Amino acid sequence: MDAIAEIKRLYYGTTRATVERDLKKAVDLLKTLGTEEDRERAAVYMDGLSQMRSEWGVKPAEPAGAPAKAKPRTR
């Protein structure tokens, strides 16, 4: 299956529970595309996945090795 078709499949099959994983996989696939034309064709699906993640309130995953955020002090 070619990368654009796989990105499209991820877009149509994503759910609230899978959107973060699907978006990460789609980004990896996008990086394999060789031409600007192919990247433009995939952009609409990439934007859609990003919009779904935002609308569903899913926070992007913290990068591996990122320092933990300090909790605010309570009195």
Looking at residue 46, what is its pLDDT?
A: 96
CA 24-29-35 angle, 5° bins: 135
Q: Domain residue spans in the chain?
A: 3-55
Phi/psi for 74 (5° steps) reads -120, 145
Tokens 């499949």 -> residue: 9
Q: Measured between alpha carbons, how far is 55 from 73 in angstroms, rounded to an integer?
A: 30
Q: Measured between alpha carbons, how far is 61 from 12 in angstroms, rounded to an integer?
A: 21
Is 3 a residue whose pLDDT tops 90?
A: yes
pLDDT tens sequence across 9-51: 999 999 999 999 999 999 999 999 999 999 999 999 999 999 9
Looking at residue 60, what is its pLDDT?
A: 72
Q: Measured between alpha carbons, how far is 9 from 58 in angstroms, rounded to an integer?
A: 20
Looking at residue 49, what is its pLDDT?
A: 96
